Amino acid sequence: MKDEYGLNLRKLIKPMKYALNNPGKALIFILQVVRHGSGPSLKYTYKKMLETRTGGEMAYKSEEISEYLPGLVNRPEKSVGKAAADCFQHHRLAIVAMSRKNAADQWIEVKHPYSWMARRYRDTHDIWHILTNYPTTAEGEMCMIMFSYAQTRSLAWLVISLSILFTLLIRHPSEAFTRLRMVYEAYRNGKKAKFLLAEDYDKLLSENLDSARERLNIRLPRVFINKYPNFLKL
């Protein structure tokens, strides 16, 4: 069981290269990056959850956020959940299905606290897009994932974010300074925000989006340029 939640740099870097070179199949490889680069952070975030009142309760209940996804459209108007449904409903369900279908990723469905935490990473990703106001463009994913790194210390998130950043810097050097500022701002905002994985997502998804951002101390990006519409199709 120890190896299931370890860190494998070779198996982390190799699929990241495939993702950058095969944007049409990027998601399959990105799931592998997360699989092999998140082990230590799963342990860190689970421990951190247990140290909070809400997180400890969610861990005890084994809250499965994926159970809320089909009903997001029924959440109140202007709520976090309704905004997520409008933007991501079919996309999010597809990612959950893919992670369950891929034999190499069946570890994520294991009845184990760290696999449960991995599902929490997976199932909150698009919700965090809504909370942070980062789109699913190349720049938006780069910043959203750096925000996630600040929250979780996952090496997988760091590798993915920096890989997108370096690709953009190489292809568009005139915008290098602005993009570096974007990534730094995303990291800083992630550090300042409340620990989002410990939230009760059933309640959060029905909360007014603006009120949730204020309560969670989530600052919207001030430095952001958005030019490349498709993630990894740079």
- Pick the closest to residue 157 from 48, 40, 66, 70 (CA basis): 40
Domain with 179, as residue range(s), is 35-215
Q: How far is CA 6 from CA 43, 68, 89, 154, 214, in A?
A: 10, 29, 32, 12, 36
Q: Is the dihedral of CA 126, 145, 60, 103 positive or negative?
A: positive
Contact assessment for residue 158 and residue 14, using Cβ atoms and an 8 Å cutoff: no
Q: What is the 3-state secondary structure (H, E, C) of 152-216?
A: HCCHHHHHHHHHHHHHHHHHCHHHHHHHHHHHHHHHHHHHHCCCHHHCCHHHHCCCEHHHHHHHC
Question: What pLDDT is attached to residue 57?
Answer: 93
d(CA 55, CA 46): 9
Q: Is the pLDDT of residue 233 over 80?
A: no
Least confident residue range of 16-25, 77-86, 175-184:
16-25
How many CA atoms within 13 Å lie on the side-chain side of 223? 16
pLDDT in tens, 201-227: 999 999 999 999 999 999 999 999 887
User: Position of tokens 């993009």?
Assistant: 179
What's the domain count of the chain? 1
The answer to whether residue 234 is domain-embedded is: no
Q: Look at 118 and 32; give whichever has higher pLDDT.
A: 118
Task: Tell me how far apart the alpha carbons of residues 11 and 16 are, in angstroms, rounded to a whole number.
Answer: 9
Distance CA 231, CA 87 (A): 15
Q: Is residue 18 part of a domain?
A: no
Residue 72 lies inside a defined structural domain of this protein: yes
Contact 123, 96 (CB under 8 A): yes
pLDDT at residue 138 above 80? yes
DSSP state of 79: B
Question: Which amino acid type is present at position 49?
Answer: M
11 found inside a domain: no
- Please give the C-alpha separations between residue 152 and each of 118, 138, 212, in angstroms, as whole numbers: 11, 21, 20
Range 124-153 average pLDDT = 95
Q: What is the CA radius of gyration of the chain?
A: 17
Kindly report, residue by residue over 144-172, the tens digit of the pLDDT: 999 999 999 999 999 999 999 999 999 88
Spatial neighbors of 194 by CB under 8 A, at least 6 apart, are 215, 216, 217, 218
> 85 lies in a domain?
yes
Arithmetic mean of pLDDT, 103-124: 86
Which pTM was predicted? 0.90
Q: Is residue 44 part of a domain?
A: yes
Domain assignment of residue 16, yes or no: no
The answer to whether residue 158 sits within a structural domain is yes
